[in-house]
A = this chain, B = another copy of it.
Amino acid sequence: MMEEPGSIGLRRFPMPKVGRGAALVRMIGSGLCGTDKHMFHGETLHPGGQESTFPLIPGHENLAYIEELGEKDNDEDGRWFDSNGAPLKEGDRVVPACDVNCGECYNCRNFYGWCWCENVFGYGTTVSCRNPPHLFGGWAEYMYIVPKVHMFKVPGGLPDNVAVLAEPMAVAYGSFSRAMNPYWLVKEGAGPGDTVVIQGSGPLGLSHAAMAKMVGAGRVVVSGAPRERLDLAGKMGADVTIDISKFERPEERVNEVRRLTGGRGAALVVECVGLPAAVSEGLDMVSMAGTYLTVGNYIDTGAVGINPQKQILSRSLRIIGVNGMPYQAYSRALSLMEIHWKRLGLDKFVTHSFRIDEAERALETASSLKSLKVLVSPG
């Protein structure tokens, strides 16, 4: 539990009684995300304007067993289904979506499934654990599932340390869903076989590299550091890596991308860095009428100078901001991982695992560049 930014500790809550339409899950593990680090450092303003409210239990990339399913109101026969239509029962291994949409606000009613709900209830990020039933985060033994949480049944063959990637992979799926070319015969956006450049070799970057391969990309180029992460990238979908400790200046990296693409640039470039300057650099890597996604600039760290004529209009680019993901992406990510995880070695993605009582060390490790995805689990 985070009492407040910078202060983390263990606490015991009473076992909750499961209400109508609600459920209780027993945690297998929870992936540590950049947002957790931001909250720990007091950067608690989320894109929709929501603020984290402390104390809270972190953990929004969750994998769990269903412990108890409450009675259902709406469904006459009282059965539970996951959000892809599969029946659910106690004992099933599930990924619960981290964001609960109200389903009634303007955004819920006009942007199918995206987590842009005006009343979003964010497990592990915005909702405090002050009030009962308290258990609103994944760094815990149990988590309380309020009604309307989407739960996704995990395919049997998927190991825990791959299934726990569902949330970041869903983000990546959502990204590509907005970027891919709706009319393949014209080279706008990216289609099957096209080159995709990922800026950034952290967990977000490598999720996008692997997902790029899963949705049909051709060559995947990852630009980042250090060597260890680039080596991992090479196993998980990256065909080429650009080591920014060697290609130090933005122009060098832009030139390298142009060299790799016959001078034309990449059909799709995805920013997974979190720095405004990456946007200006990345735009220059995009090919004529190609697409640029900014996914990593999730926290406001300022502005960057963009030349509309040179960097956007003259090459007819598309720039797309991706804020979070749609809930449908969880089940698609799970089924794509089921097909591709062995080929892409996704079981190497989680590099470290800690018990809940080691949460502070988990945060430290996740902040070092030697780790990729760090897990927190009841142990």
Q: Residues on A close to B: CB < 8 A?
A: 47-48, 74-76, 81, 83-86, 102-107, 109-114, 116, 119, 150, 173, 176-178, 180, 182-188, 191-193, 214-216, 218-219, 262, 264, 271, 276, 279, 288-289, 294-295, 297-310, 312-323, 326, 328-329, 332, 335-336, 339
Contacts and interface: CB of A to CB of B under 8 A. Distances in A.
A301 B310 CA distance: 9
Contact of A328 (B110, B150, B303): B110
A12 to B, nearest CB: 29
A321 B328 contact: no
Nearest to A318: B320
A315 B119 CA distance: 15
A301 B314 CA distance: 13
B288 A116 contact: yes
Given A317-B320, A323-B315, A106 B119 contact: no
Interface centre among A75, A112, A326 (most CB of B within 10 A): A112
A321 B316 contact: yes
Copies in the complex: 4
A279 B304 CA distance: 13
Contact of A109 (B83, B218, B294, B304): B83
B322 A309 contact: no
Contacts of A102: 74-75
A50 B131 CA distance: 44
A34 to B, nearest CB: 13
A300 B305 contact: no
